[in-house]
Homo-oligomer: A and B are copies of this chain.
Amino acid sequence: MTTFADIADALAGQAIELPSWAFGNSGTRFKVFATPGTPRTVQEKIADAAKVHELTGLAPTVALHIPWDTVDDYGALRAHAEDHGVRLGTINSNTFQDDAYKFGSLTHVDETIRRKAVEHHFACIDVMDATGSRDLKIWLADGTNYAGQGDLRGRQDRLAESLARIYDRLSGDQRMVLEYKFFEPAFYHTDVPDWGTSYAQVSALGERAMVCLDTGHHAPGTNIEFIVMQLLRLGKLGSFDFNSRYYADDDLIVGSADPFQLFRILYEVIRGGGFGPGSDVAFMLDQCHNVEDKVPGQIRSVLNVQEMTARALLVDRDALSKAQADGDVLGANGILMDAFYTDVRPDLAAWRESRGLPADPMHAYATSGYQRRIETDRVGGQQAGWGA
């Protein structure tokens, strides 16, 4: 049997990147509710992210989104982050908000617009050079709303060409991670709708092109841990965007909708070598705190990943292999469930304290005065959101 002591070291290496945009306002097409204390600048977003890391030890890096987080001096931003105890991470491109992209970006039938979109990615790579970021993440919103609106095949071919131009611009150990998404904002077809498409596209590029798996971007009923297994097996799992969903791309707090699914995903990550020192798989959050407070929402999220990682590490893999080999269905399932149902929270609290962290980061935040301070200080200006 595996005990908490056995897994403590493995947990120590865990790092979950926070998205800068999680600290801004978000919502649905119907309404974005504003909340007091919301950052007005990328610097304030980084300060909030740093608070999450200070209290949890889990979130050493912050992902940026260009142009939402555009600044004049990325060196200064990098220093700002480091002053707050975090580093800048993945650079996320955006080719879905410029009017030019109404009918596509990297897939657009018009070479002028494709070039614009490609050059936006070049600019993102320039940012990466300045921030020292490893990963360029592309979530491509391209798609169509009506059958016939676009030529599916031509768009896919143009996508391949555009991606190749971007990939060729990468240098050193920079990587491209290509995210797939089942639907939204396009409602008939999406140009990178599934892992197969992302895999086929990145495989054609080269070793430093990988797939990004967003846990909320699948069809109903999809077995996500199977895809995790397959991408690890194929050597193409680049990164995770963690969140959870009941219906569509709900972008809820990771682990909140189906904790057991998160457990199975993390078990498969560990099983397939995607966790720990030898792995290059990046763990990120990609969430929207539409109705809940943002900083504690992020704290809750990284804790959920940590707690579930602990449970997944507790699985007695030798016993499991034996039960599987014996065709002992109930026994094998029981071994997994035993780990899932283990309450790791007390051990984790003690472990945190032993490492100089608050035992209960949620409580520590609530009593830190930080929320009151940002609500008081951040008055005036334009609160950050998806469009700003």
Q: Give A contacts to B, CB under 8 Å.
A: 26-34, 96-97, 99, 102-103, 109-110, 141, 144-153, 156-157, 182-185, 187-190, 193-197, 199-200, 218-223, 225-227, 229-230, 232-234, 245-248, 250, 252-253, 256-261, 264, 268, 271-272, 290-293, 296-297, 300, 307, 320-321, 323-325, 327, 329-330, 332-337, 340-343, 345, 362, 386
How far does the alpha carbon of A320 sit from the alpha carbon of B152 in the complex, in Å?
A: 12
28 pairs from A and B in contact (CB 8 Å cutoff): A29-B29, A30-B96, A31-B97, A109-B324, A145-B291, A148-B323, A148-B324, A148-B333, A150-B332, A156-B230, A187-B247, A187-B250, A187-B252, A188-B257, A189-B223, A189-B226, A194-B196, A199-B200, A200-B234, A219-B219, A221-B246, A258-B258, A258-B261, A259-B260, A293-B329, A307-B341, A341-B345, A342-B343
Known A-B contacts A197-B230, A221-B219, A327-B102; the reply to A147 vs B336 at CB < 8 A is yes
By beta carbon, the residue of chain B nearest A141 is: B30
Q: Which residues of B contact A342 (CB under 8 A)?
A: 343
A182 contact from B221, B245, B253, B340, Cβ within 8 A = B221
Q: Is the CB of A146 within 8 A of B247?
A: no
Q: Is the CB of A225 within 8 A of B109?
A: no
Separation in Å of the A197 CB from the closest CB of chain B? 6
Q: Which residues of B contact A183 (CB under 8 A)?
A: 221, 246-248
Q: Is the CB of B152 within 8 A of A226?
A: yes
Q: Is the CB of A247 within 8 A of B248?
A: yes
Q: Which residues of B contact A260 (CB under 8 A)?
A: 147, 257-260
Q: Which residues of B contact A184 (CB under 8 A)?
A: 28, 30, 247-248
How far does the alpha carbon of A321 sit from the alpha carbon of B109 in the complex, in Å?
A: 10
Separation in Å of the A296 CB from the closest CB of chain B? 5
Q: Is the CB of A151 within 8 A of B324?
A: yes
Q: Which residues of B contact A96 (CB under 8 A)?
A: 30-31
Q: Is the CB of B330 within 8 A of A102?
A: no
Q: Is the CB of A325 within 8 A of B109?
A: yes
Q: Is the CB of B102 within 8 A of A153?
A: no
Q: How many copies are assembled?
A: 4
Q: Is the CB of B223 within 8 A of A145?
A: no
Separation in Å of the A178 CB from the closest CB of chain B? 13
Q: Is the CB of A334 within 8 A of B320?
A: no
By beta carbon, the residue of chain B nearest A103 is: B327
Q: Is the CB of A386 within 8 A of B152?
A: no
Task: Give me 8 other A-B pairs in contact (C-beta within 8 A), A148-B323, A148-B324, A194-B194 excluded.
Answer: A102-B327, A109-B325, A145-B291, A182-B247, A195-B196, A259-B260, A260-B260, A341-B343
Q: Which residues of B contact A247 (CB under 8 A)?
A: 182-184, 187, 221, 248
By beta carbon, the residue of chain B nearest A253 is: B146
By beta carbon, the residue of chain B nearest A98 is: B31
Separation in Å of the A244 CB from the closest CB of chain B? 9
Q: Which residues of B contact A327 (CB under 8 A)?
A: 102-103
How far does the alpha carbon of A271 sit from the alpha carbon of B189 in the complex, in Å?
A: 16
How far does the alpha carbon of A5 sit from the alpha carbon of B48 in the complex, in Å?
A: 41
